[in-house]
Amino acid sequence: MKLKTILLTTVATGAFMCEPVVLHAVNSTPDSMGWFRKKKKSEPNDSVKSKNEYEKLTGDGSIMHRGMFNVYQKKNDYYFEVPANLLGRDMLVVNKLQRVPSELNEAGVNRGTNYENQMVRFELDKATNKLLIRQSRPLPLAPAGDAISQSVRDNYISPLIAGFKIEAFNNDSTSMVIKVNDIYDGTETSINNVFTNINLGTSAIKNLSRILSVKAFENNVVATSELTTKVTEGTTTVYVTVEVSSSLMLLPETPMTGRLDNARVGYFTNPLLSYSDGQQRVSKQQFITRWRLEPKPEDRERYLRGELVEPAKPIVFYIENSTPYRWRKYIKQGIEDWQVAFEHAGFKNAIIAKDVTDSMAIDMDDVNYSVLTYAASTKANAMGPSILDPRSGEILEADIMWWHNVLNMLQEWITVQTGTVRPEARGIKLSDELMGDAMRFVACHEVGHSLGLRHNMMGSWAFPTDSLRSKSFTDRMNSTSSSIMDYARFNYVAQPGDDVTALSPHIGPYDIFAIEYGYRWYGKETPEEEKDLLYDFLNRHTDRLYKYSEAQDVRDAVDPRAQNEDLGDDAVRSSQYGIANLKRIVPEIIKWTTTGEKGQTYEEASRLYYAVINQWNNYLYHVLANIGGIYIENTVVGDGQKTYTFVEKEKQQAALKFLLDEVLTYPKWLFDTEVGEYTYLLRNTPLGVVENAPTQVLKNAQSYILWDLLGNNRLVRMLENEAVNGKKAFTTVELMDGLHRSIFASTERGALPDVMTRALQKNFVDALITAAAESEGVKINKKLMDNHFLLDNQLPLCSCDEHAHRSLDADRMGARRELNFYGSQLNRISDAISVKRGELLRIKDLLQSRLGTSDVATKYHYKDMILRINTALGL
């Protein structure tokens, strides 16, 4: 079955106890609303009728669950008893998947995945005697005493999304009963629109959908449903059934005091427009997302004196009992590793991990519980989303999604990145200790997201490359990065003989700094009262260890210091060390993957070979980012820093030399190997396993390096550098000349290019043609090259960015920082196109002068490229 692309919103859910009771009668809620009672007293006949209906619905034969709303089940019908004192209160709808078909499971859409949230309120429409649900969107901020606050109240309205006939009132008219089948059985989608939110775009089939249960808890109710739809793919119709839970959670009557965001610390944010009488432009205030962590009232003075205290409500994560026992202690360690960061913020025992046991009096359907959900899935990933109060950014609950096959990814990383310096990292089955250490760091990273932290891709740059080879430095820092929130990896820089044993990422200085920024309690009543305190705190932490930068596009990173999967502050040196280790691994691949089992195939060897090539490809892109790169700082007035600084000419030249040596010259050590004689690179596709020849993978990698190196965005940045810095800049002409002299070296000296060099030359010409004659290139072939065999099949450590950029509001994520030097008009007038066309003409002149060669393959090759250039340039 082939399903449409799955789009998800990241969030979560949890648990509490409920006790079903078969009732003959029910106690009324003591709270009342005077106007509501008066209305009933003036209509005694309706009141008597309503009481009779109330007794029918809640009396004999009804099953009741007590909670925020009393829930009644009468045969196959479900009713909420809504107290009048909860009318107008903000509530949060939280929907998540409970069970899915195998096709969704394989796509990484699993139990525990949250796909929809919205804030709502119940309202009574006295004219129609209906209870309405209104989507509740937070109002913009405005000081209470400002005149414009009246406009804010008058100007905005949120939509009504559902209405219910009031079936009955209770005996003293302080609550009303509504039938809720339609919003949970798939009849309508105001509360639960699962098939749209997972991008199937279909509706539930009523007679194949049903409510399984409805429970009530202290501050929420949850309905579990089984919903079925059908998806048409070509001529085939496939039925899809999912089990979902939809929770309705009462939000705090008083929202948490928000904390203002700052560009120097990476938190997810909750944005709100802000108006005031005195402003001259509308502003948007960004509040960080964080848990409400506060000292107990009796401990506040001690806390403010600097003593460690326990929070009034600690953060507790429950490890679901589907998690294999052998990994639980490591996952718990990763969660509780954050305790040291919270201690710097003044709290002890602030975050705790617990195993779920049968003796615990908890119900995992209660949305109050934060849970690590372990999914039996082929997806190799993990994710740490959270549920927010949209009024303040308070994190109410968080779930960690853990897909079982992440073990495969971790095993490959351990072997490829550390196999040369620790023998125990070799082989196809690693020890629980090694794997557990890796799971600990993944758990720690994902919990960081659940605490509100975004990725910090600057973290690994904070540690000097050569220091990663120092035993004393690595023992002292006990990490490969200043932040666990980087996509930092195991220490691939360390070389045999360095005696480095601290090889894994852990909590670092930046993480401690970020948690203190977000979670230190100041006892202030408004965000503005904290501003100076937070500013002073930031000014005490200006060292490189505390620098922050968000994620960038892998193929067009602007700041080379902030990248995925990299280590150290010198990309060329770090990558050279990494490649030196890969060169040691390649001859050992078959040995490391041979088990001695009779009939063993070379599949494991292929997996390790693939992982080595993928790691090599990472190193290429780490270096590539230096060419046309710009250092970007989060500056404030008076700090003496420049916001934008172009990468030094010498570093860009070194980066080009590295690429010429390591990928644009045939790397025989990697692609002409013993393992390649026994197995190609195996790739799973919808059509089955495809065996890719290593040289095909090399040509693909070369084409993408050239495509990305010659991209107009990069070249325009280089031209901007030349405009600003003149001869101090590494220019596009120097770049093109360096590529030409290396790629056409054999042709320049009259030698015959071999088959791999001919492929490289065509790759170079095609990359130039694509941008130099863009419209022609698109007309001929939209992509002009195959998908990137490596990048298109590579997953990051976690899905947080992946899901967030697909479905979370961009304001909450914080848009990726992009520098724009490029546009349609600039495309026409930029030297980027001129230098490419100039290089094509230079190549054409060279090839025409070499057509006298007697080698037939070379002559055909040269004529082919001349025809391509003539066609592209209209000659």
pLDDT, tens digit (0-9, with 9 covering 90-100), for 843-862: 999 999 999 999 999 999 99
H or E segment at 250? strand 236-250
Tell me the CA distances in angstroms from 663 to 110, 249, 612, 616, 858, one per residue in order.
39, 55, 14, 9, 22
Confidence class for position 48, pLDDT limits 50, 70, 90: low
Confidence class for position 28, pLDDT limits 50, 70, 90: very low
Alpha carbon 431 to its chain's center: 29
Q: Is 679 helix (H, G, I), strand (E, B) or coil?
A: coil
The answer to whether 303 and 521 are in contact (CB under 8 A) is: yes
The candidate with the shortest Cα–Cα distance to 382, out of 392, 394, 371, 373, is 373
Tell me, letter by letter, the H, E, C secondary structure of 516-583. Answer: HHHHCCCCCCCHHHHHHHHHHHHHCCCCHHHCCCCCCCHHHCCCCCCCCCCCCCCHHHHHHHHHHHHH
Token code pair at residue 674:
């013993």
| pTM value surpassing 0.85 | yes
Confidence class for position 826, pLDDT limits 50, 70, 90: low
Confidence class for position 799, pLDDT limits 50, 70, 90: low
Spell out the residues 6+ positions from residue 874 whose beta carbon is closer than 8 angstroms to its own: 773
The candidate with the shortest Cα–Cα distance to 662, out of 740, 732, 583, is 583
pLDDT, tens digit (0-9, with 9 covering 90-100), for 573-604: 999 999 999 999 999 999 999 998 999 999 99
d(CA 756, CA 754): 6
Burial of 333 (0-12, 13-18, 19+ CB in 10 A): middle
Q: What is the pLDDT of residue 844?
A: 98
The answer to whether 593 and 587 are in contact (CB under 8 A) is: no
452 Rama class: left (phi>0) / alpha (psi -120 to 50) / beta: left
The percent of residues above 90 in pLDDT, for the chain, comes to: 71
Provide the 10 A C-beta neighbour count for residue 435: 18
Tell me the CA distances in angstroms from 498 to 316, 414, 470, 596, one per residue in order.
40, 18, 7, 32
Using N-to-C axis directions, what is the helix angle for 527-539 and 509-519, rounded to 10°?
Answer: 160
Pairing of strands 62-65, 70-74: antiparallel
Q: What is the pLDDT of residue 13?
A: 34
d(CA 276, CA 146): 6
Apex 721 CA angle, 717 and 723, nearest 5: 115
Confidence class for position 11, pLDDT limits 50, 70, 90: very low
336 Rama class: left (phi>0) / alpha (psi -120 to 50) / beta: alpha
The percent of residues above 70 in pLDDT, for the chain, comes to: 88
The candidate with the shortest Cα–Cα distance to 91, out of 204, 199, 241, 252, is 252
pLDDT, tens digit (0-9, with 9 covering 90-100), for 397-456: 998 999 899 999 999 999 999 999 999 999 999 999 999 999 999 999 999 999 999 999
The mean predicted confidence, pLDDT, of the chain is: 88
pLDDT, tens digit (0-9, with 9 covering 90-100), for 759-768: 999 999 999 9
Q: What is the pLDDT of residue 89?
A: 97
pLDDT, tens digit (0-9, with 9 covering 90-100), for 678-717: 998 887 776 778 888 999 999 999 999 999 999 999 999 9
Q: What is the pLDDT of residue 824?
A: 55
DSSP string, 285-300: EEEE-EE---B-GGGH
Token code pair at residue 712:
């107009």
Q: Is the pLDDT of residue 547 over 60?
A: yes
Dihedral angle at the C-alpha atoms of 24, 30, 33, 39, nearest 10 degrees? 40
d(CA 364, CA 15): 4
- Long-range contacts: 518-522, Cβ < 8 Å, 24+? 518/259, 518/265, 518/267, 518/288, 518/290, 518/345, 518/451, 518/452, 518/453, 519/290, 519/291, 519/293, 519/342, 519/345, 519/347, 519/350, 520/345, 520/346, 521/293, 521/294, 521/295, 521/303, 521/345, 521/346
DSSP H helix total and E strand total for the chain: 31, 25
d(CA 244, CA 247): 10
3-state helix, strand, coil in the chain (%, to 5): 40, 20, 40
Q: Is the pLDDT of residue 47 over 70?
A: no
Q: Average pLDDT of 378-406?
A: 92
Q: Which carries the bigger pLDDT value, residue 824 or residue 841?
A: 841
Apex 822 CA angle, 816 and 826, nearest 5: 170
Q: What is the pLDDT of residue 287?
A: 94
Q: What is the pLDDT of residue 800?
A: 54
Token code pair at residue 171:
């005996």
Token code pair at residue 160:
């009504």
DSSP type of residue 726:
G
Q: What is the pLDDT of residue 9?
A: 37
Using N-to-C axis directions, what is the helix angle for 694-709 and 732-743, rounded to 10°?
Answer: 160
The answer to whether 493 and 567 are in contact (CB under 8 A) is: yes
Q: Average pLDDT of 12-37?
A: 38
Q: Is the pLDDT of residue 784 over 50?
A: no
Q: Average pLDDT of 251-278?
A: 93
Q: Average pLDDT of 106-132?
A: 90
Provide the 10 A C-beta neighbour count for residue 402: 27
Pairing of strands 386-388, 688-692: unpaired
d(CA 301, CA 187): 55
d(CA 68, CA 163): 20
d(CA 519, CA 516): 5
Q: Is the pLDDT of residue 262 over 70?
A: yes
The answer to whether 136 and 86 are in contact (CB under 8 A) is: no
Q: What is the pLDDT of residue 684?
A: 74
Q: What is the pLDDT of residue 657?
A: 99
φ and ψ at residue 402, rounded to 5 degrees: -130, 110
pLDDT, tens digit (0-9, with 9 covering 90-100), for 734-780: 999 999 999 999 999 999 999 999 999 999 999 999 866 544 333 33
